[in-house]
Structure 1
Amino acid sequence: MAATPTRFPNATRRIACVTGASSGIGRACAVALAREGWTVVISARRAADLDETVRLAKETRQAAEVRPFPGDLGKPEDVDALFDFIRREYGRLDLLFNNAGRSVAPVPLEEVSLEDFQSIVGVNLVAPFLATQHAFRIMKNQTPQGGRIINNGSISAHTPRPFSAPYTMTKHAITGLTKSAALDGRAYNIACSQIDIGNAESAMVGAMKPGGSLQPNGERIQEPVMPVEHVADAIVHMASLPLNVNILNQVRSTPLSSPLSSKPTLSSPCKPSWRRRCRSSGAASRARRCLVCNRRLAVAGM
C-alpha cells in the first residue's frame, strides 16, 4: 500500500492561487506567500492593481514568481479561464485561497435589488464553489496527490451586521462549502480550511470609515481595524501545515473594543425590544447571550 503524502510536495515549485489579490487581504497574502517561496497566480478584475501586487512581492523577494491573471470571477467563464491557465502553465495546484468577495451599501432587506443580490452571490459563493471544483480536479489527479483550499469566510459567518442579508447569507454558505469540501477531499489528501476575519484594513472595511459602521442599536461608530499582514501570516501558517493536519476554521478578530469581537462593547445597550430580558432568577433560569450585542443575560424557562 502506497504511503499517504502528508505535506506539500517537496518540489522546486509550490503553486498557489489567490483570488481577489488586487488589494487588501488578497494582496497581503499573495506577497507573504511569494516571500516564503511559493509561486503565486493572482486574479482580480483590475489588471493595474494586480501589477502593483507583483511589484510589492518582488520588493520582498526579488526572485518571487507572481503571475497576474485579470478576470471577473463573477463570470463562470473567467473562473474556467483562470484554472485553464494554471493547468497549462504549471500542471498542478498546491494551494487555493478563495478570497475574492464583494458587498454593497447596507440597505433594508426588502430593498435589496435582485441585481445586487445576484452579483454578491455570484462573486462570494458561485465563484469559490466553481474554483473549488477546479482545484479538486487538479489536486485529485496530480502527483503527489492533494493540496489545500482556504476559504475567506468572515466574522459575518457568525455575527451579521445590520442590513447585510445577502453578504451574510453567502458567508454562512461558505462555511457549508468548507465543511463539505473538507469531508469530500479527505480521501484524496485535499484539506479545506476557513478563516473568518474581523475588521482587517481592506478597501471593503475602509468604505465604512467615513461615517462610521452601523451598529445594531442604530448608532454609527469608528471600529478598530487590524493590519492585513496579520491575516497574511495566518494564511502562510495554514498553508505550511502537513496535509493530514487541518484547521477547519480560524477566527481572526479585531480588538475587544470592536462590536465584531468575541466580547463586544457597545456605546449603549440594546433596545429592550431587541432582546429577551431576564424575567426571573435562580435555578429555573439559565445564562444566555443577547443575539444582538452578545451580552450575557438570564432567560427564564429556556
Structure 2
Amino acid sequence: MSPDGRGSSAGSATRTAVVIGASSGIGRATAIALAAEGWSVVLAARSRQSLESAAAECRSAAPLGEFSVFEMDVTDPPTVQALLDDAIARHGHVDAVVHTAAVIGYGKFEDVPAAEFERAVVTNLLGSATVARATLAVFRTAGRGHLVLFGSLLGKIAVPFMSPYVVGKWGVQALARTLQIETRDAKDIDVSLVSPGGVDTPAYLHAANRAGREGRPPPPVDPPEKVARAVVRLMDHPRRDRSVGIANGAIVTGFRFLPAVFDLAVTPLVKVAALSRRSMAPHSGNVFEALPGSDTTHGVWNRAGLRREQEPPS
C-alpha cells in the first residue's frame, strides 16, 4: 500500500489522529474538522484519488497543518498494521484512531447474495475488530490513546431490507462495549462509540442494492459536519456512546419497549422513509471495491431525506 504526504517530526506536541474511511462522508468531514482544530491527521481509505482530494480540503481548513494519506483496506489486516506503523513513523505518535469505514447493502436477506452479505459484515464488523486490535496494541505501548468506533442507530434497532448493515453494526456495538470493559485497567485509554441516525453522505449512493429501489437516509437527516463535531468533542470529553440524531432516542425506546408495535410499523415506514421512488437495478455498489468518482463529503439529500433535486413521480 502507498503512503504519501507531509509528516511531522517525532515528538511533536501536536496531537495526531488516524481517520479510517476519510475518503468521503462522515470520515472526510471528521478529518477536516480535526484539521481545523489543529490536529495532524492521517487520512486512510481504499481510494488514493479520494484521499488526496480530502487531504487538500484539510489543508484548506488548516494551511499550516500536517497531513498524510495512506491507501488501505480494513478487510486486509496487514494494511491496517502498516497504516499505524506509518503514522507513528511520520508523526511520532498516535493519539486517536477514528474508524468510520463501512459499506451498506439493501434488499431482503434472501435476495442478497451470500458473498455480498459476508463481505459487508467483514468490512463493517471484522474490519472494526481488526482496527481495534492493532490500535489497542499501539495504545497499550504508549499508555494512552482514544479509539472511536462507529456504530449506528441501526446497531441498536432492527429494520428490514438492510440486513448486511444491521448485523454488522450490532456487532460493532457489542465490540465497543466489550472493549470499554476490558480497558478499564488503563485509565488513559478510551473507547467511544458514535451512533448516528440519518446523515447526508454518499454512502447510500455507494450502497449495494437488491431492493429494486434506491436507498436513502431516513429523516431527519443531519449533515456529516454535525457528526464530525461530535467526534471532535469526544477527543476532550470522552463518552462511551455518543448518539447523533434528534430522533434516535425515541426510535430506540420504541424498539426496546414496544416491540410488537415497532415490528408492525417498521416495514411500511422503511419503504417510505429509507427507500426512494427511484428504481435501481441489482448491483454490488462499493462492497467489493471503492467508487472514487463519487467520493465527497455530502450526499444529495435534504433534511427530509429527499433528493435536493425533484424525485421522479411514483
Answer yes or no: same fold by TM over 0.5: yes
Distance 1:161 1:12 in 2: 45
**Is the 1:93–1:135 Cα contact (8 Å) retained in structure 2?**
no
CA distance in 2, matches of 1:175, 1:263: 18
**Unaligned ranges ≥5, structure 1:** 1-9, 215-220, 265-274, 276-286, 295-302
- The 1:110/1:58 distance shift into structure 2, 3 A limit, reads same
Distance 1:237 1:58 in 2: 21
Give the partner amino acid of 1:69. F
Structure number with greater CO (CA < 8 Å, separation at least 6) is 2
Fraction of identical pairs, as percent: 25
After superposition, the C-alpha distances for 1:162-207 in whole angstroms (9 at most, x for unaligned) are 2222211111111111111112222222111111111111111356
Give the conservation status (yes or no) of the 8 Å contact 2:45–2:72.
yes
- Aligned equivalent of 2:223: 227
Question: Larger radius of gyration, structure 1 or 2?
Answer: 1
What is the alpha-carbon distance in structure 2 between the residues aligned to residue 291 and residue 174 of structure 1?
Answer: 23
Separation in 2, partners of 1:191, 1:160: 28
Whether the 8 Å contact between 1:148 and 1:191 is mirrored in structure 2 is: yes
Q: How does 1:67-216 map to 2 (within 5 A)?
A: 67-104=68-105, 106-142=106-142, 145-188=143-186, 189-206=188-205, 213=215
Indicate the SS of the match to 2:243.
Answer: strand
CA contact (8 A) 1:98 1:128 kept: yes
- Compare 32-41 and 81-90 and name the one that shifted more: 81-90
Structure with the higher fraction of residues in helix conformation = 2
Query: How has the CA–CA distance of structure 1 residues 135 and 102 changed in structure 2, closer, same or farther, with 3 Å as cutoff?
Result: same
Residue identity matched to 1:89: R
CA distance in 1, matches of 2:57, 2:36: 10
TM-score by length of 1: 0.74
Q: Distance in 2 between matches of 1:98 and 1:54?
A: 17
Partner of 2:54: 53
- Quote how far apart the aligned CAs of 1:11 are: 5.9
**Deviation beyond 6 Å, 4+ runs, structure 1:** none
Query: 1:262: how far off?
Result: 4.0
Structure 1 residue 46, shift from structure 2 partner? 1.1
Calculate the TM-score normalised by the size of structure 2.
0.71
Q: 1:222 to 1:177 in 2, by over 3 A?
A: closer
Contact map agreement 1:198 1:253 (CA 8 A) in 2: yes
Match of 1:252 in 2: 244
Contact 2:205 2:215 in 1 (8 A): no
Figure out how many residues of one structure are paired with residues of the other and give that number: 245
Q: Distance in 2 between matches of 1:164 and 1:135?
A: 29
Q: Quote how far apart the aligned CAs of 1:291 are.
A: 2.5
